[in-house]
Structure 1
Amino acid sequence: MSMEYRMRRTLPNDRAAIIMPVDHGLIFDRIKGLETPSAPFAAWADTDVTGFMMTPGQVKQTEKFFAEHPHLSRVLTIDTYYDVSTLDGGGSHELITTVDEAVRMGVDAVKMLFPWNISRSERAAMCARVGKVVTACDAWDIPLVLEPVIMGAPRTDDVAVEEEKVARIAYDLGAHIIKIAFPGEERTARLVEELGVPLVIAGGPLAGDVTETVDAIGQTLRAGARGIIVGRNIWQRERSEGERVLKEIGTLTRKVSFPA
């Protein structure tokens, strides 16, 4: 399979992608909405969702399901990080599987966190680790989704500015897709224009009402983002409200397209 094939599976050209992350158990243990880790797939497969962000265990448990739903892409999370709730740089990041294994499992892309509120030596080690993953991804023609993030930080303007800087480092390390928390429409547009790498925007934790969520996603798409990574803002809501959010987001994502 080629890189172009997998990129188009992950980020279609005729619309913006809606990738639903359900990999939270790697760092959050048991959380509301994921008590049964494989439940969201059947629950949301026949909606506007274009794919899922998953753990190795979920990929293995749902092989038959996704064989029967080939229109859905699968993005495999290949790392974990502890502790996500602190700002003191005391966390620890490690890979939990390999790019070789991801290719063997037949997923469309792999995803890594790229935390930056860590020590200088840990930053160097993180960059080296990402570099090795990028090399393996290029060898196997499978995209890496890299997520610059200030772990445990509130969504302040200063944090958005810092994550924008780290997104540029992600580009220089060779990320094929960059996942970032929404930094505002203007900054998103600037990153899209300057980096020339597909940008996808994280929906974050359950927050705000439906109107606020949909408005932020509308800004994201106007700025040129290729997709939305939205999970808790859908599956942690009451079912009818989650369906409403997803329907409105789906309408927005179908109003945009991207050059072939």
Structure 2
Amino acid sequence: MDGKTVRMNRILRSGKAVIVPMDHGVSEGPIAGIIDMNRAVSLVERGGASAVLVHKGIIRSLKTPPSCGMIMHISAGTKYAEDKNKKVIVSCVDQAVRLGADALSVHVNIGGSASEPDMMEELGKIADDCDATGMPLLVMAYARGKNVTSSPLEIAHAARVAGELGADIVKCPYTGDIKSMKLVVDSCPVPVVIAGGPKCEDDIDVLRMVDDAMTAGAIGISLGRNIFQHETPDLMTAALRSLIVDGVSVEDASEILKENLIGPVLSMHRAEIEALR
């Protein structure tokens, strides 16, 4: 037993991940679902998230510490940047320790950005710092750039890079089918969680995607918009947790979304969103 193992158990449930990233405020701005971060975190926490993933300023601003795990993201870049695939490091492992985070997260894009070597170098250094302090490291690894198309083989390559350079968990997109996703999982030396991508209109599609990823060997999810922009983020979190941690069927998980028993619905703050446009 060591510090990394103890902290890893705080962001997982029975070895499975129900992680809700809410770092989008930096890259996208105050989008629907994460305008009121205290409420957003409270809802997914109530639904059974194993961890939330946020930037350091959000950790400081929360009124109460969440009962689930807390992952501090230290990569940043906005949608307005000339090179949208470039992510810069905006904090460090020591700050994550000071703020009480249970794990660290960085984002790396592989595939043609001029900043790719810098991101890989930074990842290697951060992984070493995480090992030295016993801090788990989640790496968001994407095949993005002028030289890639985000094919399954390219997704597998990006995941492999993250695993070889020191990640403890790798986050990557779902490839679209079980067979190719299994290649990603089998060829990555550390556990894999899938990203959610754009908001889906049909809940059952999200549940089936996650179920297929679990069949392929993933340990869970790191889904943002498909949870925090859902009409009932708490129920969506609960449905996904039941599928991932409890192993229920897609059909049984979907029934949770019909119950509406967990708590209040997250307001989308439509008036506030319109005022920001």
Q: TM-score normalised to the size of structure 2?
A: 0.79
Equivalent in the alignment of 1:230 = 223
Moved over 6 A (4+): none
Equivalent in the alignment of 2:183 = 190
SS of 1:255 mapped into structure 2? coil
Does 1:255 pair with 2:246?
yes
Q: In the aligned structure 1, how far is the partner of 2:64 from the partner of 2:133?
A: 25
Q: In the aligned structure 1, how far is the partner of 2:72 from the partner of 2:229?
A: 21
Equivalent in the alignment of 2:204 = 211
CA distance 1:160–1:84, shift in 2 (3 Å):
farther
Deviation at 1:17, TM superposition (A): 1.8
Equivalent in the alignment of 1:79 = 75
Equivalent in the alignment of 1:43 = 43
Equivalent in the alignment of 1:99 = 93
Asked if 1 retains the 8 angstrom alpha-carbon contact of 2:162 and 2:170, the reply is: yes
Which deviates more from structure 2 when the two are superposed, residues 19-28 or residues 77-86?
Answer: 77-86
Asked if 2 retains the 8 angstrom alpha-carbon contact of 1:91 and 1:118, the reply is: no
Q: In the aligned structure 1, how far is the partner of 2:23 from the partner of 2:149?
A: 27
For residues 239-250 of structure 1, the aligned pairs below 5 Å read 239=232, 242-250=233-241
CA distance 1:148–1:85, shift in 2 (3 Å):
farther
Which runs of 5 or more residues in structure 1 are unaligned?
A: none
Asked if 1 retains the 8 angstrom alpha-carbon contact of 2:172 and 2:195, the reply is: yes
Asked if 1 retains the 8 angstrom alpha-carbon contact of 2:160 and 2:189, the reply is: no
Amino acid at match of 1:214: L
SS of 1:149 mapped into structure 2? strand
Amino acid at match of 1:177: I
Equivalent in the alignment of 1:4 = 5
Deviation at 1:208, TM superposition (A): 3.3
Asked if 2 retains the 8 angstrom alpha-carbon contact of 1:84 and 1:152, the reply is: no
Q: In the aligned structure 1, how far is the partner of 2:202 from the partner of 2:87?
A: 33
1:118-174 deviations in Å (ceiling 9; x for gaps):
43x522221111111111111101011111114489xx9753432221111111211
Amino acid at match of 2:104: V
Deviation at 1:210, TM superposition (A): 0.8
What is the root-mean-square deviation of aligned Cα atoms in Å? 2.4
SS of 1:131 mapped into structure 2? helix
SS of 1:6 mapped into structure 2? helix
CA distance 1:246–1:93, shift in 2 (3 Å):
closer
CA distance 1:143–1:191, shift in 2 (3 Å):
same
Asked if 1 retains the 8 angstrom alpha-carbon contact of 2:141 and 2:159, the reply is: yes
Q: In the aligned structure 2, how far is the partner of 1:42 from the partner of 1:61?
A: 13
For residues 147-226 of structure 1, the aligned pairs below 5 Å read 147-151=140-144, 158-183=150-175, 184-226=177-219
CA distance 1:100–1:194, shift in 2 (3 Å):
same
Q: In the aligned structure 1, how far is the partner of 2:37 from the partner of 2:145?
A: 23
Overall identity of the aligned pairs, in %: 26
Amino acid at match of 1:45: E
Asked if 2 retains the 8 angstrom alpha-carbon contact of 1:110 and 1:145, the reply is: yes
SS of 2:64 mapped into structure 1? helix
Deviation at 1:77, TM superposition (A): 0.5
Asked if 1 retains the 8 angstrom alpha-carbon contact of 2:105 and 2:139, the reply is: yes
1:48-68 deviations in Å (ceiling 9; x for gaps):
211101111111122x522xx
Deviation at 1:198, TM superposition (A): 1.2
